[in-house]
Amino acid sequence: MTPKEVLALCREKDVKAVDLRFMDFPGRWQHLTIPVGKLNEDVFEEGMGFDGSSIRGWQAINESDMLIVPQPDTAFLDPFTTLPTLVLICNIQDPITREDYSRDPRNVARKAVNYLRTSGVADTAYFGPEAEFFVFDDARYEQTAHQAFYFLDSGEGQWNRGRDEQPNLGHKLRYKEGYFPVPPSDQLMDLRNEMMQTMIECGMDVECQHHEVATGGQSEIDLHYDQLVTMADNLMMYKYIVKNVARRHGKSVTFMPKPLFGDNGSGLHTHFSLWNEGTPLFAGSGYAGLSDMALHALGGLLKHAPAVLAFTNPTTNSYKRLVPGYEAPVNLAYSQRNRSAACRIPMYSPSPKSKRIEFRCPDPTCNPYFAFAAILMAAIDGIQNKISPGEPLDKDIYDLPPEVLASVPKTPASLDDALASLENDHDFLLRGDVFTEDVIRTWIHYKRQEEVDAIRLRPHPYEFCLYYDL
């Protein structure tokens, strides 16, 4: 879509407002809204000014002026606003140099794609993430100097089997048995259908929706794979739509990977493949039908996974999901069909077009522009340096003898460990000026100061259960 076509769409749909959206550094959509009369072709070229010092992880106050530049090919009609509103996703530029801003996550993703093309490895990277989330009926939490608590509730949660609901109609989902019984046990069918249909009306290609394993409203809606930047855009639209459809029905959605103790967490299983001139490059005659290129991509991803996880699993809560002995993959190994490996090669179809790698570690709190770019850069490094992934591990990894399991590399045990890995291993991200030292340093500093230290310094409620009477 061109600027002219965007303006024509505004007239056709009687649009009254234009919402300009961009991604902040940690990974949350930000926006400002202008009357439709203020949108003209010049805005697509010149952008509009805003205060970059008020955005987390961005500019200092003495250099706060930034430009927000709308991208016409991202236009969609907002399905939630009362006033007819068109949404445009934007890039960020420096107003003096007119260079794309190094800390704009969308810029990093765009540079990763450009680096792929100039490297000669491939011309297209396809990504297909599977975002899981929880739908709750009540979500309350607080942290002060003298108290800390959270309270989550769901009408289908197993813990409500004995609640006086006048009447309680039963059919609560047992822990780890939410995948995937029909209604009335699945109480969110209509809600997910509405989410799915809203996505379709916004131009997204949805493959399916279903309940997920956990009790208490865990769900998933799958999108058809697309090119890296487009898929990162779509994942932000996905989160926006899911949260707002839920809110419209008096419910609350969280993408936290581990909101419930004792049940499955939410992942972002990420499928990816490389193509060139319309030809899939990951299909071959090797293990699980993979090409040498795909195996080397696996080698690069497994080698750099501890550093990559600083972007794909970027919260302290991420590592309450990545715990040895549970469902999430903490063992850095690869296997066909095996969901207990960090990297799985799906075997649903023999078609070369379906041959891909599934990286199962990521979770949906990630900034998708950074996460997908980091995965791609690790894969390219593996391909360029012909890094071997080692031997596949086709057994149930969780049932391996301790002496065998001890030899399998593990994911970092905490966000701080992942940040340390990134600190020590990020040269592969700097190639092609995709990630810059500035981005890496700022990410590590922000995460340690605002999240790692913030959690480390506060008493945990369970510590009172353990230690109050000592």
| Catalytic residue annotation | 51, 130, 132, 212, 220, 269, 339, 358, 360
Residues 315, 444, 412, CA angle at the centre, nearest 5°?
A: 55
8-state DSSP, 250: T
Is residue 394 exposed (0-12), middle (13-18) or buried (19+ Cβ within 10 Å)? middle
- DSSP annotation string for 350-407: --GGG--EEE----TTS-HHHHHHHHHHHHHHHHHTT----S---S-GGGS-HHHHTT
d(CA 365, CA 265): 12
User: What tokens were used for 72?
Assistant: 């016409």
Bridge partners (DSSP) listed for residue 31 = 21
d(CA 208, CA 223): 7
User: What tokens were used for 372?
Assistant: 């997908």
Q: How many CB atoms lie within 10 A of CB 427?
A: 10
Pairing of strands 76-77, 85-93: antiparallel
Q: Are 367 and 314 in contact (CB under 8 A)?
A: yes
d(CA 153, CA 49): 42
